[in-house]
Amino acid sequence: MASWVLSECGLRPLPRIRIYPKPRNALASNSTNNVFKIRTLPGSKANSNSFGSSFKVSTFSRDRKWGVLNVSAPLKVAITSEDDKDKETINGVEDDGEFNPAAPPPFKLADIRAAIPKHCWVKDPWRSMSYVVRDVVVVFGLAAVAAYFNNWVVWPLYWIAQGTMFWALFVLGHDCGHGSFSNNPALNSVVGHLLHSSILVPYHGWRISHRTHHQNHGHVENDESWHPLSEKIYRSLDTATKLLRFTLPFPMLAYPFYLWSRSPGKKGSHYNPDSDLFTPSERNDIITSTTCWTAMVGLLAYLSFAMGPIQVLKLYGIPYWIFVMWLDLVTYLHHHGHDDKLPWYRGQEWSYLRGGLTTLDRDYGWINNIHHDIGTHVIHHLFPQIPHYNLIEATEAAKPVLGKYYREPKKSGPIPFYLLGVLIKSMKKDHYVSDVGDVVFYQTDPNLYGSSKSD
């Protein structure tokens, strides 16, 4: 049952990448004779997967099989005449000001890349290592302070602070996995293993599956991070499993289970070198990472005998689960919970660019600096080679190109408590997507713990 609770990030090397062909962008066809405009009838109740604005469906390609089956659209639609040409969607924005997030963007990935200053791509290993030293010093300092005072006023504060620092260590190891830490693969691997093994993450196993996430972001079936359940899979789950997946805090504890057995509908383990997650040439990498992970488990077992299991639980065990909650919270909110429904893609409608544009930036207040600005996520998804310390500048440079496809994050107070509300709202609404359609939106099960009906 636990395997259905899960989803999280993961990364696959280029030889294993299954990137779908770029769409032929029928939605952006310039042929006015071959275009129907489809929009919700006034006063009609759109299905939960409604675009929320009008969109165009091209009829020029016979093999595309367009219609209600290929686009997750309102049940009631009207086909307007050619007299409505003045309301053509231009660059994803209609003349009435409405924006269609599923429309193919008017720019290319190369346009965004060209807007980012060249120095933003430069990886400085000394600067990267300085963040590692900073975080490691803080981690050991917090542990020393908590052990010294050893009272129940300090322990809760320590758990929150140390769990957050474990999450910061993960982000630096994540940069190693992307190669944005330095240009030296050996340095990336050594630092990545030390950081990730210390928080019980199999570095190569995660690194390889995480690339799958980046190379297939926004794809319903092939994404690797919190990808949607299809309606068929969702309906096949028993009520207890559904509640586990969509009731807090259970989804925020999913990551360790995901590492063992992946997400619903997928098979494989990040620890098994023979898993179908990996190619035969990657087998030795997985053995190395699993060995390092096992060594860390052994060290914790030794410390439990030397210091006592309760002390290890207080110093390491509880902060570890705080780290897991940070990881699941952040990775979920980078792909869910926007005020407007965002699309997921299949088949020829998916492209690397369109999928990446459905990711979200988030503001975490004081935590931004602590966890290395990982909330600056859109540019990171499109260009994971950019070091974390250049993401903010790169994002600012790219905004004029992205236009409305960039969704400015809500500003947070010092502590991002508001994100808990966003998370709860999304968990109540975003349950599954249709089994059919190349552009689909999350739908709501109104019978699950009293959820409100779909928008």
* H or E stretch at 39: strand 35-40
Residue 59 or 121, more confident: 121
Q: Is the pLDDT of residue 23 over 60?
A: no
Q: What is the pLDDT of residue 267?
A: 82
**40 forms bridges with which residues in the sheet?**
77
Q: What is the C-alpha to C-alpha distance for residues 202 and 199, in angstroms, rounded to an integer?
A: 9
pLDDT surpassing 50 at residue 149? yes
> Hey, how many other C-beta atoms are within 10 angstroms of the C-beta on 401?
18
In angstroms, the Cα distances linking 101 to 75, 140, 347, 407, 441 are 19, 45, 18, 10, 11
Q: Quick one: pLDDT band at residue 450, thresholds 50, 70, 90?
A: low
Least confident range from 51-55, 283-287, 374-378, 442-446: namely 51-55
Q: Decide if 377 contacts 400 (C-beta within 8 A).
A: no
Which residues in 227-259 are b (16+ Cβ under 10 Å) and which e? bbbbbeebeebeeebbebbbeeebbbbbbbbbb
Query: Is 21 in contact with 348 (CB distance < 8 Å)?
Result: yes
Q: What region, left, alpha or beta, does residue 439 occupy, with left being phi > 0 and alpha being psi -120 to 50 degrees?
A: beta
Q: State the chain's maximal CA–CA distance in angstroms.
A: 81
Sign of the Cα torsion 163, 164, 169, 173 reads positive
Distance CA 416, CA 329 (A): 11
Query: Tokens representing 182?
Result: 């330095």
What is the reported pLDDT for 358? 93
How confident is the prediction for the chain on average, in pLDDT? Answer: 82
Tens-digit pLDDT profile for residues 228-282: 999 999 999 888 888 888 999 999 999 999 999 887 667 889 999 998 889 999 9
Q: Which two tokens stand for residue 76?
A: 């009631």
113 has a pLDDT exceeding 80: yes
Measure CA of the first residue to CA of the last residue in the chain; give whole Å.
30
Q: For residues 371 and 168, what is the distance between their CA atoms, to the nearest angstrom?
A: 4
Q: How far is residue 351's CA from residue 357's CA, in Å, rounded to a whole number?
A: 10
Query: What is the three-class DSSP state of 74?
Result: coil
Determine the 3-state secondary structure of 432 from DSSP. strand
Please write the tens of the pLDDT for every residue from 46-84. 343 333 333 333 333 333 333 333 444 333 333 333 444
- Output the six-digit token pair for 354: 């369109």
Least confident of 84-88, 126-130, 376-380: 84-88
Return the closest-CA partner of residue 263 out of 229, 216, 218: 229
CA atoms of 58 and 18, how far apart (whole Å): 27
Q: How far is CA 449 from CA 164, 244, 427, 445, in A?
A: 31, 11, 11, 9
Half-sphere exposure of 181 (CA within 13 A, CB side): 25
pTM assigned to the model: 0.78
CB 314 within 8 A of CB 404: no
315's tokens? 């110093």
For 297-382, where are the E strands, in sequence order?
344-345
Residue 363 CB burial class (10 angstroms; 0-12, 13-18, ≥19): middle
**Cβ-Cβ contacts under 8 Å for 241 (sequence gap 6 or more):** 1, 4, 5
Strand ranges, E, within 258-414: 344-345
Please report the beta strands in 239-372, taking only residues with DSSP state E, as ranges in sequence order: 344-345
What strands lie across the sheet with 35-40, from one edge to the other? 55-58, 35-40, 77-79
SS3 sequence of 144-199: HHHHHHCCCCHHHHHHHHHHHHHHHHHHHHHHHHHCCCCCCHHHHHHHHHHHHHHC
Separation of alpha carbons 330 and 442, rounded Å: 19
Distance of alpha carbon 433 from alpha carbon 444, whole angstroms: 9
Ramachandran angles phi, psi of 349, nearest 5°:
-80, -20
Predicted confidence (pLDDT) at residue 13 exceeds the cutoff of 60: no
- Name the pairing type of β-strands 439-440 and 344-345: antiparallel
